[in-house]
Every structure is written in C-alpha cells, then in structure tokens.
C-alpha cells in the first residue's frame, strides 16, 4: 500500500513538472522520458497484483476500479507507441484530393493514407466588424513622415451604422464603404490617423469529402470542437487562411489506445460508484 502511494506521488510530481510552461513549448517532453514510462508500468503491475490479491465476488467493485486504472495506462501506452498526430494545410479546392499527410520537416516522413481527403468548401461567419484606431508617430528630424503608428483604441459601429472616432470625427456608411458597398479595410483620416478594420470569426466550417479508390464514401462538415472520425483517424479544424481563405489547417490524430482509455474510465467510475454505494449502505 505504501509503495503504491509513493508511486502515485512520483506520478503527481511528473504531472506538475509537465504542466510548467517553457519558452520553447517543450514542457510535455517529460511525459516521453523512459523514467516516466517505467513509473507508469510499475504502477500498472502494482495495481494488477493488488486487485488480484483481493479478487472475489464480494470485492468485485474494488478489483474493477483497480483494473480500470490498468486499462487506462495500457491504452495510454498503446497511444504513446502507435499513435500519430500531425497538423497540416489542405487547399480549399473541390477537385484536389490529398492521400498523404505531409511531413513538417526533414526529420519526418509523409504519412500515407488509404483514403482521400478533399475540402470542397469553406464557410466563415464574423461578428460585427470593428475598427482599430492608430495615430502616427513622427520620425525623428522629419516632421513630414511617420516613423510608426501606435494603437489608440478599438471602435465599434453604432446602431445607425456610423463610426464615432471621437467627439469631433464621425464617419457615416458612405465614408466607411467602398464603391461596391463593402466596408473598407483601411481608412486614412484627414489628420493622418488610420483606421483598420478588424474581423473576428464567429464560426467557421469546412465541407469534407472522404473517398476510397476515387469513390466518395462520406461527406461531413468539419467544425471547431466537432471532429470528424474516419478509418481510425480523427480530424480537427484548427485554423484557416485569414487573408484569402484558400486553405484550412487540420490536425489529424490516430490513437489506437483511445477506446481502451474510455473503457478504463468507465470501469473506474463503475467500480468506485459501487464501492461508495456499498459503504454508504453499511
């Protein structure tokens, strides 16, 4: 019992160390060290021995909870060894299909897929646009030229469609819009100050086409926090080309141990719930 407690304490220390952010973003490397894997393996063996020692119908809940932790560790190890994860860009072209995930650098190799991915369409909706106000800072010794611009404040359009810059300057829709009626990206005021439009995406989604042997198998809408699963892979929508919307950024993940982790979590929850219920009934 004491040995297991010490092992759990070591695991907690590893988790704390892995949670400390580093400048280069490599804080999670602690979870890939041989020492951490060895500690988890030892904890798994200890839990199996502990559960086996108390294995009986009367203590089935106790054994189930311990077994669930072991299954979670086993699933995490399978994902650690055989899992794949990569972020990549896909052009938004209905006639373009990719069949491999490109490498990020020379140390990686492309991941060949047995199916094709096509991003046929991309849609984005924005919140009401705002304008950022910048004021020029004169260059030293040159009063006629601005060396830089300093952000002053963010301005929102009024209900009447006008933009109140300050007490003296107010721009109506005719001044804000171009010849086609669209809001202009940048406006230079008479006093040299600059307004730049800011658009915050409210919702964006990509229409995926998944195919095998050039035959369409599935169509799905890929949205933020709503991944699409196919052939053991899970695809997440991460970002997009904010300037021209010519491509989207996807994160592809393949975790063969994911179902084991889910099963282990349910086992721990079920075993713990039964133990709590039995104890409250005593």
Indicate whether 24 pLDDT > 60.
Answer: no
pTM: 0.68
Indicate whether 8 pLDDT > 90.
Answer: no
145-161, pLDDT tens digit by residue? 656 888 989 988 888 88
Can you give the pLDDT at residue 184? 86
Share the mean pLDDT of the chain. 82
Tokens 């892979």 sit on residue: 233
Domain definitions of the chain by residue range = 2-83+257-281, 86-125+202-254, 128-198
**Range in 34-48, 124-138, 143-157, 211-225 with the lowest mean pLDDT:** 34-48
Indicate whether 28 pLDDT > 70.
Answer: no
């Amino acid at each position: 019992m004491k040995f297991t407690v010490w092992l759990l304490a070591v695991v907690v220390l590893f988790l704390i160390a892995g949670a400390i952010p580093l400048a280069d973003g490599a804080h999670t490397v602690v979870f890939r060290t041989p020492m951490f894997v060895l500690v988890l393996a030892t904890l798994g063996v200890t839990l199996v021995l502990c559960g086996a020692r108390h294995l009986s119908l009367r203590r089935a809940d106790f054994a189930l909870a311990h077994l669930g932790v072991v299954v979670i560790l086993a699933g995490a190890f399978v994902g650690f060894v055989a899992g794949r994860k990569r972020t990549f860009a896909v052009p938004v072209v209905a006639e373009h299909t990719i069949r491999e995930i490109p490498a990020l650098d020379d140390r990686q190799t492309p991941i060949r897929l047995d199916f094709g991915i096509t991003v046929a369409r991309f849609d984005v909706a924005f919140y009401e646009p705002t304008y950022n106000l910048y004021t020029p800072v004169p260059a030293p010794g040159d009063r006629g030229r601005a060396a830089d611009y300093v952000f002053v404040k963010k301005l929102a359009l009024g209900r009447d469609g006008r933009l109140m810059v300050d007490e003296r300057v107010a721009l109506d829709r005719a001044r804000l819009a171009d010849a086609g009626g669209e809001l202009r990206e940048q406006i230079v005021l008479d006093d040299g100050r600059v307004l730049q439009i800011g658009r915050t995406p409210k919702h964006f989604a990509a229409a995926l086409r998944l195919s095998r042997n050039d035959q369409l198998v599935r169509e799905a809408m890929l949205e933020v926090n709503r991944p699409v699963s196919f052939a053991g892979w899970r695809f997440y929508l991460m970002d997009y080309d904010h300037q021209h919307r010519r491509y989207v950024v996807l994160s592809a993940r393949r975790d063969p141990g994911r179902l084991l982790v889910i099963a282990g979590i349910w086992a721990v929850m079920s075993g713990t719930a039964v133990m709590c219920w039995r104890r409250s009934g005593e």
